[in-house]
Amino acid sequence: MSKKRKNAEVLATLAILENLYPEAHCALNYRNPWELLVATILSAQCTDVRVNEVTRTLFQRFPEMKDFAAADLCDLEEAVRSTGFFRNKAKGIQGSAQVLLEKHGGVVPRTLDELVALPGVGRKTANVVLGNAFNIPGMVVDTHVGRVSRRLGWTTATTPEAVERELCELLPPEKWAKTSHILIFHGRRFCKAPTALCSTCPLLDRCPRHGVTRSR
């Protein structure tokens, strides 16, 4: 299949998904870019529901970036313990707060390079912040996005960064952030791991896997 035809096929499939999930959005609760950064760091290997439960009290206890920077690390660890990997997450959050205050005047930057230079921040977290806090194109690749895009034949890549690169080549920048949310919604509702709900999936006729549900 030519690149032009593949792009057209992907956009046609995406249009179906856009109609199917008009409500697709970032499920994390936040009031500003800093809170989104914190919530996204906590979301690694954790559900959005759990993160929102934790941040509801976390942001009351530490209302400003400076409060995270000055917090006792053990107290911060305990506050985020239920999200898993709490020591690394607490260290990353506090480190990011300190760097932002020292080098960025307490302002969350708007570039990928500056964001990934922060402690505890990878490309996924950076792209979440760019796309949702600043409306700057960012393709977020989590396990759902990777799985669904491979099953749909949009990519054969297996690493998040490679999937991100291929999806960005297929889609116009203005679609990146929304597409991430849509694929996450579809992955949770139909294209589940390890077994997808193919018999009721609205994309069955367009899926090259034709009901083969083994996770890739």
**Residues assigned a catalytic role:** 124, 142
d(CA 99, CA 40): 17
Contact 25, 177 (CB under 8 A): no
> Which has the closest alpha carbon to 17: 197, 182, 175?
182
Q: Which amino acid is at 121?
A: V
How many residues would you count in the chain? 216
Convert 43-75 to b/e letters by CB count within 10 Å (16 or more is b).
Answer: bbebebeebbebbeebbeebeebeebbebeeee
